[in-house]
Amino acid sequence: MSITGKTYWRGFRDGAPFILVIAPFGLLFGVVATEAGFNLLETMSMTVLVIAGAAQFAAVQMLVDNAPVVVIVLTGLAINLRMAMYSASLTPHLGKAPLWQRALIAYTLVDQAYGVSIAKYEAEPDMPLPRKIAYYFGVITPIVPLWYGSTMLGALAGSAIPDEYALDFAIPITFLALVAPALRSLPHVAAAVVSVLVALLLNGLPYNLGLLVAAVLAMMTGAKLEKWQGERT
């Protein structure tokens, strides 16, 4: 096997453990969307076209609340803003790939694909471009099809799940699970606390404006504290 082929399979093996995260999450999305009133085509279209779990859960929740579409889309994009950071961070490594490959990389740029790939690129920055690309596509090979498949299973099982399972609360729990590991420093915790307090205080504002204000204030809190910490040390 060529060295590039070996690198692809290395990526595949490094991406494989995330099956444990992706499968239950996809399953849950299928169930929640179906419970909310999505038909199979709608659930699958969202999962295949958006492939961003957290934003999908938020969108479903807000559709159930009858929020205006503009607000739903903006909120979903606010949640996905981190992906622009991923894109920025991968550019020095993959920026010279052919356009169609960059377009495909962008489409599949989920949290796990980014996390695994950037760790590899930072460990081996001198890896030639074709191998970096092969590695990336290796990582997403076990992840992306499984996301589609598990959502489909969840959607098919969804309507068979009774209310007693309190799946209404699966969404907040899943968000908590995604964000809690990111609370790794004082500025991160402070930003999260500001976000919670402002969002609760401004909950009455229309169009989810409270959340937008909370997010901006929380980002400023995190950035300020980080700068202040850096200046002290």
76 binds other proteins (CB under 8 A): yes
Which of 2, 3, 13, 37 touches other proteins by CB under 8 A? 37
Looking at residue 114, the DSSP 8-state letter turns out to be H
For residues 10 and 138, give the distance between their C-alpha atoms in angstroms, rounded to a whole number: 7
- Asked if 151 and 158 touch (Cβ cutoff 8 Å), the reply is no
Contact between 170 and other proteins by CB under 8 A: the answer reads: yes
| Whether the Cβ atoms of residue 69 and residue 77 lie closer than 8 Å to each other | no
DSSP 38: -
19: exposed, middle or buried (Cβ count in 10 Å: 0-12, 13-18, 19+): middle
- Judged by CB under 8 A, the residue of 31, 90, 116, 140 near other proteins is 90
Residue 205 engages other proteins in binding (rule: CB under 8 A)? no
Stretch that binds other proteins, among 126-134, 141-149, 151-159, 189-197 (CB under 8 A): 189-197
Give the shortest CB-45-to-other proteins separation in angstroms. 5
Q: Is 181 in the site for other proteins (CB under 8 A)?
A: yes
Count of residues that bind other proteins according to CB under 8 A = 98
Residue 171 engages other proteins in binding (rule: CB under 8 A):
yes
Interface positions, 110-169, toward other proteins (CB under 8 A): 165-166, 168-169
The whole-angstrom separation of Cα 56 and Cα 7 is: 32
